[in-house]
Amino acid sequence: MSFEDIKLLLIEKFGAEIIVGEELDGLQPALIIEPDRIVDVCLELRNNTKTYFDFLSCLTGVDYGVEDGRFGVVYHLASIPYKLQLTLKISKANDRDEDNLPSFPSVSTVYRTADWHEREAYDLEGIFFEGHPDLRRILLPDDWEGYPLRKDYKAAEYYKGIKIDYPAPSADNSIKIEYRTSNPQTSKYNRALDNYHQKIAAASVEDMVLNMGPQHPSTHGVLRLELITDGEIVKEVIPHMGYLHRCFEKHAESLTYQQTIPFTDRLDYLASMNNSHAFVMGVERMLGIDKDIPKRVEYIRVLVCEMNRIASHLIAIGTYGIDIGAFTPFLWCFRDREHIMGMLEWASGSRMLYNYIWVGGLFYDLPVGFEERCREFVNYFKPKMVELNQLLTDNQIFISRTANVGVLPRDVAINYGCSGPMLRGSGLKWDLRRIDNYSVYPELDFDIPVGTGAMGTVGDCWDRYKVRVDEIEQSLKIIEQCLDRLQNELKRTADFDPRAKLPRKLTPKPQDYYVRCEGAKGELGFYFIANDARSEIPFRAKARAPSFNNLSVLPEIAKGVMIADLIAIIGSIDFVLGEVDR
């Protein structure tokens, strides 16, 4: 179904007034919807068998600036059955008075993944969502003043007596925390916060409230999980994140596209190459130079990304084994990952945060002898994976701890915006390397592993683990094909310059663009708003983090499990807090 067909379908269903405008100039056309009808439109697009936009990829709050006076929300929808994408926008003018926050209907009743996305838009842009079930801050502390992604945001000089290196100090060098109860939106937010505190207080009477984290090895990072338990049975899990929040999107609004690439490395720092690859692809497409990238550069990009994917999965598998109580697989995985880390350091000069993939090319060509060393690693590593499967995958204790535990049904995974091994573990063959056919992946032969319920139920912890194991095998297959091309048809030459296509200035024409790729954890997306053809700095840059969406389903699949099983579920998600918090 084309963009025009979707537009006509909505007009036929709701009338012409449902669409207040459209944007057709950029690479991705967008429909501007009447704000009060956005829930109806999303529901229709999700349920109509002709469209079936069942997946909310990204939801972005936008402050269009003081002069414009508007606040808005951008929705990037995807149809898994039809492999379509659609952008919807809503906006309204607001006087920026903090006693009158811009307000839009919540779509969390249509897409459960919108719950956390809308909380983030409230937290950082100060956009209120009517009907949201729990509109509290999600990345910043509850008593934070102001909304950092607003264009007129001025940070206080001190927070809780700690100096923040920002201008605009208050008169007495302190922050005054107060809730403006006269503001209807703020009072509703207070009620959400009060409801949360009341729930915890009530649970403390008959049940037990436990904190897992924020410093706990089984939370895989600085994450606090608040558990309401009845004995050893988990009744509810309330995640608290933000401890690693590093303001990626705020940085991106003050740096050029090229300068932002090192910051992408710090999102999923276990698979940094994939982060920069996605970011760079989006900028290259906006500049219109994506078809000009030399084939050798593209094959090198895929090669290092797949090596990084294996390294990331080895971390997931090794730490998962130690979560369950198996120590030897942890040592084996880290031993073999070390070979990959050494090779990527050889290529880029850095061990984890590479800054290797640049807009238009690469930092440098592969070192002489890299391809041969990489092939040696592949030949060494294949039998090691066989040993790992014998030690862990087929281990009866491991199977007992993971099979039929944390079952994630396919429809729930889609509704929560889960992707990557989380979604494929639930039996859906959905891999953006095949769906979007970006870079040179269409030229490569590889399979897409999915969960089959071989040891229990489709979508359980064992399936998610096994998908990652099988993906390592497929990544090795991709690496071998890249090496064949690089050593035969795309040999290095004395005059090859991996920076030859680097633009002098990165100034895309005004447009919005959402780019997505298959990161190690799932769909990694970046949404850019470029509004000035002379500027190398984006007006808005949003990071769609797969770990953020995948973690959001934890409270759903952890209800009624044992505390020990909760550990198995957390490990099976394989999230990175640097990507969750950004």
The predicted structure's pLDDT at residue 177: 36
Rounded Cα distance between 285 and 515, Å, is 9
Spatial contact of 450 and 466, defined as CB atoms under 8 Å apart = no
Domains of the chain listed by start with CATH number: 3-155 (3.30.460.80), 248-581 (1.10.645.10)
The predicted structure's pLDDT at residue 501: 84
Residues 146, 275, 448, 439, Cα dihedral to 10°: 130
Closest listed residue to residue 408, CA positions, set 420, 396, 393, 394: 420
Rounded Cα distance between 268 and 284, Å, is 21
Closest listed residue to residue 416, CA positions, set 226, 222, 573, 567: 573
Give residue for tokens 């923040």: 164
Report residue 94 as tokens. Answer: 């607001």
3-state secondary structure of 22: strand
Rounded Cα distance between 351 and 328, Å, is 24
Phi first, then psi, for residue 55 (nearest 5°) are: -130, 120
Report residue 122 as tokens. Answer: 């409230």
Report residue 203 as tokens. Answer: 């649970």
Cα angle value 303/306/308 (rounded, 5°): 110
Rounded Cα distance between 416 and 572, Å, is 16
Helix (H) or strand (E) holding 78: strand 70-79
Residues 198, 237, 220, 431, Cα dihedral to 10°: -130
Closest listed residue to residue 573, CA positions, set 413, 454, 447, 395: 413
Query: How does DSSP assign 98-111, residue by residue?
Result: TTS--EEE--TTT-
The predicted structure's pLDDT at residue 185: 46
Report residue 573 as tokens. Answer: 């998600």
Query: pLDDT tens digits for 438-464?
Result: 999 999 999 999 999 999 899 999 999
Query: How does DSSP assign 38-73, residue by residue?
Result: HHHHHHHHHH-TTT---EEEEEEEEE--TTT-EEEE
Using only the alpha carbons of the chain, give its radius of gyration.
24
pLDDT tens, residue order, the chain (582 aa): 899 999 999 999 999 999 999 998 888 999 999 999 999 999 999 999 999 999 999 999 999 988 888 999 999 999 999 999 999 999 998 887 767 889 999 999 999 999 999 999 999 999 999 999 989 999 998 888 888 999 888 877 777 777 766 444 344 444 333 333 334 445 555 677 878 888 788 887 888 888 887 888 888 889 999 999 998 999 999 999 999 888 899 999 889 999 999 999 999 999 999 999 999 999 999 999 999 999 999 999 999 999 999 999 999 999 999 988 888 988 999 999 999 999 999 999 988 899 999 999 999 999 999 999 999 999 999 999 999 888 899 899 999 999 999 999 999 999 999 999 999 999 999 999 999 999 999 999 999 999 999 998 999 999 999 999 999 999 999 999 999 999 988 888 888 888 888 888 889 999 999 999 999 999 999 999 998 888 899 999 999 999 999 999 999 999 999 999 999 999 999 899 999 998
Query: How does DSSP assign 389-409, residue by residue?
Result: IIIIIT-HHHHHHHTTSS---
Rounded Cα distance between 287 and 282, Å, is 9
Q: Which residues of 456-475 are buried (b: 16+ CB within 10 A; e: fewer)?
A: bbbbbbbbbbbbbbbbbebb
The predicted structure's pLDDT at residue 403: 93
Query: How does DSSP assign 297-330, residue by residue?
Result: HHHHHHHHHHHHHHHHHHHHHHHHHHHHT--HHH
Report residue 89 as tokens. Answer: 């926008």
Query: How does DSSP assign 548-582, residue by residue?
Result: HHHHHTHHHHTTT-BHHHHHHHHHHH---HHHHH-
Give residue for tokens 């909760």: 566
Report residue 16 as tokens. Answer: 């012409």
Closest listed residue to residue 183, CA positions, set 108, 102, 261: 102
Q: Which residues pair with 230 in a beta bridge?
A: 233
Rounded Cα distance between 3 and 30, Å, is 9
Report residue 237 as tokens. Answer: 């899990």
Amino acid, single-letter form, for residue 105: P
The predicted structure's pLDDT at residue 197: 80
